[in-house]
A and B are shown apart, each in its own frame.
Chain A
Amino acid sequence: DVKVTQSSRYLVKRTGEKVFLECVQDMDHENMFWYRQDPGLGLRLIYFSYDVKMKEKGDIPEGYSVSREKKERFSLILESASTNQTSMYLCASRLGTEAFFGQGTRLTVV
């Protein structure tokens, strides 16, 4: 079974903190994605990567950066967390036709 693991299920951070959300997949997938999910807005693509050290901006990259130093790990970084980044963050990886999702990290910025 494909496994996509997000490091935390729930996270509470303070405004201005640097926040790292980690995602690891165990199937040697090349493509990985970070989304945020908010009520009424669906899933919005933040960044995606198709290879080590390769990254592309999605629809809402502002306030975020990413790192892909190893194929299995794709990190989302909030350089200076703000309250409007409170959300559910979903990581996914893909090989072939379907994407596999982690369980999500619910981040609250206070």
Chain B
Amino acid sequence: SQQGEEDPQALSIQEGENATMNCSYKTSINNLQWYRQNSGRGLVHLILIRSNEREKHSGRLRVTLDTSKKSSSLLITASRAADTASYFCATALISGAGSYQLTFGKGTKLSVIP
């Protein structure tokens, strides 16, 4: 299994603070993605970083990737109460004739207190 591990499992911060979540994985990857899940709902894609990239930004999101350490981090700046959700990293492995395996971690539950 190449399931990733997020760290911490749960994070509670005040509105306006930054939130950092980390993800480690086990095997080589083609890209790494972060998703968000509101309680009881499906997951929504946030951002993707390719294996040859080191950092990527999208709005208040910043993702880093260190393939030598097999780890990634997601930073949410100036957090809002609406950012309260679970966040998952997912690793993608592409092989063969179109085979695309997308494997998720266990998630970080973020609570942003107004």
In whole angstroms, how far apart are the Cα atoms of A104 and B41 in the complex?
7
Looking at the complex, which one of B31, B40, B44, B99 makes contact with A101 (CB distance below 8 Å)? B44
In whole angstroms, how far apart are the Cα atoms of A41 and B106 in the complex?
5
Q: Is the CB of B98 within 8 A of A101?
A: no
Q: Is the CB of B103 within 8 A of A59?
A: yes
Q: Is the CB of A94 within 8 A of B1?
A: no
Q: How many A-B residue pairs have CB under 8 A?
A: 70
A19 beta carbon closer than 8 Å to chain B? no
Residues A42 and B107 in contact in the complex (CB < 8 Å), given A100-B45, A104-B41: yes
B104 beta carbon closer than 8 Å to chain A? yes
21 pairs across A/B with beta carbons < 8 Å?
A31-B102, A41-B106, A42-B3, A42-B104, A42-B107, A43-B88, A43-B107, A44-B104, A45-B101, A45-B102, A48-B102, A50-B100, A56-B101, A59-B1, A92-B102, A97-B48, A99-B33, A99-B45, A101-B43, A102-B42, A104-B40
> For A31, A43, A48, A101, which residue has the most chain B Cβ atoms within 10 angstroms?
A43
Task: Say which size band chain A's interface belongs to.
Answer: 20 to 34
Q: Is the CB of B100 within 8 A of A94?
A: yes
Q: Is the CB of A33 within 8 A of B102?
A: yes
The 6 closest A-B CB pairs, nearest first, are A42-B106, A101-B42, A98-B45, A43-B104, A50-B98, A59-B1
Which DSSP category, helix, strand, loop or mixed, fits chain A's interface?
strand
Point out the residues of chain A lying under 8 angstroms from B48, CB to CB.
97-98
In whole angstroms, how far apart are the Cα atoms of A15 and B81 in the complex?
41
Q: In the assembled complex, how far is the CB of residue A99 from the closest CB belonging to chain B, in whole angstroms?
A: 6
Q: In the assembled complex, how far is the CB of residue B7 from the closest CB belonging to chain A, in whole angstroms?
A: 12
Point out the residues of chain A lying under 8 angstroms from B101, CB to CB.
45, 48, 56, 58
Point out the residues of chain A lying under 8 angstroms from B42, CB to CB.
4, 90, 92, 101-104
Name A106's closest neighbour in chain B (CB-CB). B40
